[in-house]
Structures are given as C-alpha cells and as structure tokens.
Structure 1
Amino acid sequence: MQFSYANPTQIFFGQGQISSITQPLPNDAKVLVIYGGGSIKRNGVYDQVTKTLADYEWYEFSGVEPNPTKETLDKAVAIVKEKSIDFILAVGGGSVIDGSKYVAAASHYDGDGWDILTGQYQVSSAVSLGAILTLPATGSESNMGAVITKAETHTKLAFLSPFVQPKFAVLDPDVMKTLPEKQLLNGIVDAWVHVCEQYLTSQHGAMVQDGYAETLLKTLKSLGDSFDQRDNDQWRANLMWSANQALNGLIGSGVPQDWATHMIGHEMTALWGVDHARSLAIVQPSLLRHQIEAKRAKLEQMGINVFGLQHSTDLAEKTIDAIEQFYASMNVDTQFSDYESTKAQAVDAVVTQLSEHGMTKLGEHQQIGLEESRQILEQAIA
C-alpha cells in the first residue's frame, strides 16, 4: 500500500452554495460557462449563475451532449482562444464537466485536441476550471479524468491530467429536484460500479479503502432500496456525496483497480448510444461471472459485508446474483438487446472496437484479452 494522494478541489456542499463560487474565482477572471441542453434554465441554476457572475466578464457555450463529442467541444475551444478566456465554469453533470476538461486542455494546444485522447500530446497546462454539479454520478467534479467521444469514428476514449482537476466544485442537492427518474437511477448505478471497479479485485489488506468502499456500497444500496423517497433532501444529499466519494481517488489509493467493465461499456455507448451507467450494468454481472475465480475472495467479502449474506461454498456466485437483483429492483437491464443486425455481429462490433483502441489487456491483472471480452459479451448481449 504505497501511494501519493491529493485532492485539491475545494468542495462547496449544500443548499444555496452556488453563490460561493466568487470566493475561489479570481476577480478579474474572464469566464466561459459551459452547459448542456438547457435544463439549467428550467431549474433555476442558470439564473443563480447569472446573478453570481454579474460583476464578471463572461460568455456561454451550450449544447454539450451526453457522452460529449469532440466535434461539439472544438467549437468551445475556438471561443476560449478567440475571447482569451482564462476560466471555464462547467455547469452540468459528468458529460459537461468531462467536456469542459477537454476544452480546458485543448485550448492550450495548437494541434488537434483529439491528440490528447490518443496520447500523442501530453497535457502540460490548461485553462483553469470549476464545476457546478447538476447530476450526481461520475465524480468528475473532483477528479482529473474525462471521457470524450469522436462522433466521426464512434470512438470513445479517456484521458487523465492533474491540469484539468477542477479548482472547486459546488454540490447543491437542490438542483436534483427536477432530474428525471432515469437519471437518478443512472447516478446510483454509475457510482456503484465506480466503487466496484476499485473494490472487487484481489485481497490487499488496505482496510480503510475496503471499509470505505463497503460503506459507499451499502449507502448506494440503501438509496436504491428507498428510491421511492427520492424527493427528500437527505436522500438527495446522500446520493450526491456518495457519487463524489466513489471516484475522488481515495478508495483507489494504493490498491488494485479493474476498469474492464468501463472499457467494454464505453464501446457499447460509442456504437449504440447506450447510457453510460446502463452499459456498466449490462457488462458487469457477465464480467464478474467470467472472472469469478480471480475475484472470488473479494466477492465473498462483499457478499458478507455489503449484502449480509451467509458463508457458503457458492457465496461468490450468490453475491453476483445479488448485484444483478439490485439492478433489477431499479428496473435496470443487465442484458443488451437494442442492437441492429444479429447478436454475432453485435459482439463482433464491440470486439473490433476494443481491438482498434488497444483494449486488449483489461482488468487488474491484465487478464482479459479480446477472446475473454468476446466471452463476456456473449453473455451480456441478449
């Protein structure tokens, strides 16, 4: 257990905190507000931002999609360069914040921003960034990661850079009041799998990381079980904080991490537009069953400490069943059927994408090659 951990993002958590952004925001900042489809104008967030930025020179860019595309984001990059923007304020969920990270990094690069995603360019500086979270799920508001899609080629890739870590993030649970039920469910699933990717690996003896991961899983399970109470301040606050803590770097410090479910799920999103969280729920149970021997000890630990199951010879199997039943209780599918053509062609399409993107050794032990991914997809695709 050796690691270096720092999370410099200042969190403003609670109701009415949007006005707090003037504390860390430089007085002379020239700000670009980036947001998505306009829901912030219906839920009052846009008005709060406008009021807070009254004394600043600021501009806005809207239209960032779920699974943000390079093609859209490059238009924002052009604005940053043209207007000499020196601070980006991302107002939205993980897609808007991820997209803003791309804009922040690409704006300090003279070449094609996609080079950042392919690794041809290593980010060495970026426009400063802050976030106002409107949809709890990804934890992007206080980490250094982003996932971007190139629509032209149906390619979805990720990058990490400390230079795009948000300087601050506002987490006001009130903004969740107008979210559709499906997005709240996606938030639970997304955060759940984020924790699992850092927890369901191998025994390592890092008791704090394991214990905290289990607390987050039990919290998310409780929120899913009490979904009928979602119109409740406490319920909203607990989901927003859980989703943040699931991927702020702490529970993954010094321990093995998997992320194969994400890599395979990304390809399904890129090919068919599957909601990110839904792709994870589709892939994860099949992947866990395929990798059950490598993960048996941690699955058994999860079964006992998270689901309250009893010791048995098939405890790991029962734990996977319990995960699948949890998704089913929220009406979240664990098999994918919305593909065109045949199942064989659908499986081939994902495997081809994995191969083209170099995703040929996945998992905490790099044990999931293309053939293993194919076997997982054979079970995950109906």
Structure 2
Amino acid sequence: MTAALKVVRAGLFDTLQDLGRVGFMALGMPTAGAMDRVALRLANALLGNPAGTAGLEIGVMGPDLLVEADSVRVALVGPISPALIEGPDTPPKALETDRTHLLKRGQVLRVGMVEGSSTAYLAVAGGFALPSFMGSLSTYARAGVGGFEGRKLAAGDALPLSLEQAPPGDDRKLGAPFDYGSGPVRIVWGPQEEYFTAAGRNIFVGSDYRVSREADRMGIRFEGPTIAHATSVEKGGADIISDGIGPGAIQVPGAGLPIVLLADRQTVGGYPKIATVASVDLPRLGRLLPGQTVRFQPVTVEEAEKLRRDQESRIARAIADFKVARPPGGIDLARLYEENLIDGVVYERSPG
C-alpha cells in the first residue's frame, strides 16, 4: 500500500509549491513557487528536509487530510488553527501551529482557516513522491503543470508520500513566531520610473493603497490615488516595448493604479514598471488579504540588499533556535527535568 495523505475535504486553494521553477522564463514559463518562501523554508527545516522540498501552500482555508500511512510527520507554519480528528465519533483536538506533529494511520488532520493572512504551509518529512516538471514541483495552475496534476487539490486526491513512515526523533517547534516586519513595503525605483511624472511618483510613495478583490498568486491590484504617467515624446504613456518581469515588479497601466506581480506573474509585459518590491518584503505581500492597506517606501539597491542579508541571518537564527515540542496533551519531560521541583528538605528526627 502506498503511503499517502488523502483529501477528504478540499480547502479553497491548496497547491503544491517549492521555491520555484528557475531558468525557464526565456521559454515563457513563469517561476511559480511559494508566495511566502520564508514560511516554507521554516516548515522544511523543522522536518530536516532540504529547503527546496515542495510543501502544501494553504490558501485562506485548508483541507482535511486522512493519513493513509503507518505514520507521517508534518510541519505546519503560519497563522492557522489546525485540529486532529482521531475517529468519526471523536471531537477535533486543537493542535499548535509553527511546529511538527506525528500523525498515525486513520487520523484526520483538519488544517483549518488561515487567520488574518492568505497563506500558510504544510510540509511532510521526506516530501511528496510526485514527478517534477521542468525541475520543480511547483503548481502553475493557469497552464495545468506541476504539483498534483497541475491544479489545486480536490476531494478524493491522494498525495503520495516519499516515506512509508515517519523518521524517528522528537517533534520540534519554532522558538518564537518569525518576525516579518511591519510598516511600509520597501521598494526600489524602476526599471521605468522615468515614465511617470515627479508628482505621480510622490503620490505613489505618499499614499495608502488598499488590496482589491483582484488579488491572487499572479499579482495584487491596488486601489487608491492614481499615478500620472509622463507625456514626453521619448518617455510617455502607459505602454512600453514588452520586457521581462521580475518578482515584485510594480506595473502601472493606463488607469494609473499599481499592480504588484508575484509568484505566478507573466514572464514579459508591456506596461511601465514604476518600482520593484524589495525581496525582503515579498513574503509580506504573500500574506495580504483584500481590504488590507499598505504604503510604499523607496530604498536604495544597497539598502535592499542589506535588508535581505539581515533577513537571511534572522532565518538562520530562527532555525538554530528550534525547540523540542511536547506531544499535544502530553508531558514535556525534558522541560520537567530542567525544573527544580524540590523547594526545600525537612528532616524529622524519629522519636526515641
């Protein structure tokens, strides 16, 4: 019998994603990959997987997964409230997130809602036993390639596991939730900032913009003050000769409202790009929901590079600070042994 996680109830938009399909944009193939690469990397690190192992990206609401294996160890990272269902007549038992859990055959993991965010991640020890496409397991649903049959998960799907049972060892958890930062989203001007008026650029970085309902893995269309394009003969209008689009590129079409392009972005485009989101803040964009507001703040290329290096150092510290996690409802013997359980000793002389 092949070890698997079976979808007994589908979530809203759950797809397999790794760190992306790199090297094929010249052929018109988008990179896809995790919207929040930090969370996926932490989930894999908790399990001892390579950083690029594909995991399940949970979009807004996750699935119910039946364990069809002797055992499997999963890691859940992100703002979710998972639960474990032991049997048909057993009420769900709440589980912690930002840690691993050892699951047994017949149990059902209810991944639950993603609270205040659009994405969370589930990884499994050893990864999923699925064929790669162009060197990646990332799902690009628009073309129907990668992941599980090139699409989001549906009820009845069985995700094959690479391991028949969980490897030995303790469960682990993050020492503290990872800090993604707050405040304005940092951007680097360009590559076509000269296609916009000085007033338009000032409006862009001086205004609040709200995430519209047109937000998905391809990009986020923002609502707010319009940004004026330049009108000179050389640099004017809302059209350019199509060129390559990197992660976080911010296009501004003729309507004057910014669109931030994300994991499933097209490879080329013909609208001018006023700026590009610094890579340090891309995971934050992957967590935004419609109605939330952001402000953009320009930084230099050198500042953006330093912010990214600092983030890598924080990821390394978070991994080094993993803790042993006690089983749900159980006793953490390691912590217990560390405590001084004897407050004092009283000797009593026996009579006589």
Question: Is TM > 0.5 for Structure 1 vs Structure 2?
Answer: no
Question: What TM-score results when the alignment is normalised by the length of structure 1?
Answer: 0.24
Question: What TM-score results when the alignment is normalised by the length of structure 2?
Answer: 0.25
| Structure showing the higher helix proportion among its residues | 1
| Structure showing the higher strand proportion among its residues | 2
Report which of the two structures shows the higher radius of gyration computed on alpha carbons. 2
